[in-house]
Amino acid sequence: MLYNNKKDEMYGYWLHNIEEIGNKTREKLLEEFITEQELYQAKISKIEMFLTKQQLLSFEKSRESWNVEKNYETIQQKSIRFLSIRHMEYPEELRTIPDPPMGIYVKGKLPNSKAIRVAVIGARNCSNYGKAVAEEFVEALASKQIQVISGMAYGIDGISQRKCLKLKSSTFAVLGSGVEVCYPSENIDLYHMILENEQCGILSELPPYYKPKPQFFAMRNRIISGLSDVVLVIEAKSKSGTLITVDMALEQGREVFAVPGRVLDALSFGCNKLIDQGAQIAYDPNVFLERLFELFPDKAEYHKKGIIKNLHRKTSNFDRHAQVKNVSQLQILEELELKPLIVEDLYQLLSEKSLCESLSTLFQELLELQLMELIYCKQGLYFLKQ
């Protein structure tokens, strides 16, 4: 039975905050009682069969001490909404995943179920290449107002969400803490930018002031993938939290795409392995857009009906990378993205990575890149062409 009224929302908030009672137990209780308010008012004899002794004590203590209306008003004053799984506005996509959250807290907006939603995830300690690729893909998604969901973490998550906001596109952060706790604290500016944008939002299944714990991030990840139609992975090590999210996405029946990377780069092992195991390859942002519209034709119509600008881009870093012939040329471009370099410095950087055998080999690579009009040389310095 679904509801859409303040009273049931208040009692749902109460149930979600009883210590010792987790999702599975809440689910059993809600199968037996029509509303959370009915559960709150039920005699103990009707409840004790569903709870352990410790849970029963916690339940009774909560009923005695919890001021349902006052506590609910407290979160409303913080512009926080609590949506029980029984609430009509609770995201339908989450209801159908294994182990759905029995309630979520929302500051701002929820993702639009009519729109295509892409979870953009990846390495926290990403490379310059990963940053460039993330921004290129997000630019393509933003051009069609495709919504981006991520975890507001360091690296690919935060980079993707900042780019969305810069392009005035919608993004949603799912936290491994309560919605009143910004983690990592260094992303406090991003946290506030998301809340200041009326088309964006911050979500969590944890009570508002819960601090992050390691186990909360795996819980968080299933919501990121559950709210999304597609998961896009940009850089991941062979063992990482990113791949845990991918496992959850596959269990939920979501599409998974991975950006290929350099064979010798540890940050690419995870993505390359995903592609080897059957993930779809995301090698170009525009091709990725086309694939999304093929996968979700009904939602594609929604995006095509909107007032959407076409994606007109200069030759981008991603396009450049697609033209190169080998790993050493790719590394040269990545080094020159940071600053112009003389040939000796380039040789040292590539030699440290075992990517260049000799100066003569390097000069040959530089000549080819110049012929492709990707770099140029001026007064002994090599520059990346803009």
Q: What is the pLDDT of residues 273-309, one digit of tens each?
A: 999 999 999 999 999 999 999 999 989 888 876 533 3
Contacts of 10 (CB under 8 A, 6+ apart): 68, 69, 72
Position 311 scores a pLDDT of: 36
The answer to whether residue 335 scores a pLDDT higher than 90 is no
The answer to whether residue 133 scores a pLDDT higher than 90 is yes
Position 249 scores a pLDDT of: 95
Give the range among 7-11, 248-252, 269-273, 306-310 with minimum mean pLDDT: 306-310
Position 302 scores a pLDDT of: 83
Specify whether the CB–CB gap between 56 and 62 falls below 8 A. Answer: no
CA–CA separation, 200 and 108 (whole Å): 6
| Domain 117-305 sits in CATH 3.60.20.30 | no
Joined tokens for residue 299: 């939602």
Give the range among 77-81, 90-94, 362-366 with minimum mean pLDDT: 362-366
Phi first, then psi: what are they for 128, rounded to 5°? -60, -35
* Alpha-helix runs per DSSP H in the chain: 6-16, 23-32, 36-41, 44-47, 53-65, 68-77, 92-95, 128-143, 156-166, 188-196, 214-226, 241-251, 266-276, 285-295, 297-305, 317-323, 327-338, 343-352, 359-371
Name the DSSP letter for residue 124.
S
Give the range among 38-42, 87-91, 106-110, 310-314 with minimum mean pLDDT: 310-314
Q: Which CATH class is domain 324-384?
A: mainly alpha
Mean pLDDT in residue range 310-329 = 58
Mean pLDDT in residue range 46-54 = 90
Position 312 scores a pLDDT of: 38
Phi first, then psi: what are they for 330, rounded to 5°? -60, -40
Position 216 scores a pLDDT of: 94
Position 322 scores a pLDDT of: 57
Mean pLDDT in residue range 366-382 = 88
Q: Residue 184 in 3-state DSSP?
A: coil
Position 318 scores a pLDDT of: 55
Mean pLDDT in residue range 240-253 = 92
Confidence of residue 316 (pLDDT cuts 50, 70, 90): low
Angle between helices 343-352 and 327-338 (to 10 degrees): 120
Specify whether the CB–CB gap between 47 and 56 falls below 8 A. Answer: yes
Angle at 126 between CA 366 and CA 217, to 5 degrees: 165
Nearest to 240 by CA among 126, 97, 119, 101: 126
Phi first, then psi: what are they for 112, rounded to 5°? -85, 120
Position 307 scores a pLDDT of: 36
Distances (CA, A) of 119 to 150, 173, 246: 6, 10, 10
Position 313 scores a pLDDT of: 41
Q: Residue 71 in 3-state DSSP?
A: helix
Position 1 scores a pLDDT of: 65
Mean pLDDT in residue range 322-345 = 81
Mean pLDDT in residue range 307-323 = 47
